[in-house]
């Protein structure tokens, strides 16, 4: 059992968690969400051209799946890919922030 725990620890060390955006970058991302995403999803994120992005509307959605949509967009819809503007960890942060509710 100890040997297994040691192996798990080594694997976790080899694959560190994605870096979180800095506090300054998080503030920029919140502004991006409110203005750029809000242009289609409504300035209050309650929906518009795009669906609502409020926690209740995203409760059943997987953050990984949301992150994928943020990065790659949705074909056949106005949802653009943000891959050129966001890193994987920033898209993941946005997905999780939307599920929890953005700070006021």
pLDDT digits (tens, 9 = 90+) for 7-17: 334 333 433 45
The Cα 79–Cα 68 span in angstroms is 12
Length of the chain: 104
pLDDT bracket for residue 54 (50, 70, 90): very high
pTM over 0.75: yes
pLDDT of residue 18: 57
The Cα 94–Cα 82 span in angstroms is 12
Q: Tell which CATH classification among 1.10.1660.10, 1.10.630.10, 1.10.760.10, 1.20.1250.20 matches the domain 19-100.
A: 1.10.760.10
Residues 6+ positions from 60 with CB-CB distance below 8 Å: none
């Amino acid at each position: 059992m100890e040997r297994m725990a040691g192996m798990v620890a080594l694997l976790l060390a080899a694959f560190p968690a994605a870096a979180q955006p800095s506090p300054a970058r998080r503030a920029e991302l919140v502004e991006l969400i409110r203005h750029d995403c809000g242009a289609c999803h409504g300035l209050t994120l309650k929906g518009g051209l795009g669906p609502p992005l409020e926690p209740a509307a995203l409760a059943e959605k997987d953050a990984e799946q949301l992150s994928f949509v943020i990065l790659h967009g949705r074909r056949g819809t106005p949802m653009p890919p943000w891959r050129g503007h966001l890193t994987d960890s920033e898209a993941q942060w946005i997905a999780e922030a939307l599920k929890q509710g953005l700070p006021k």
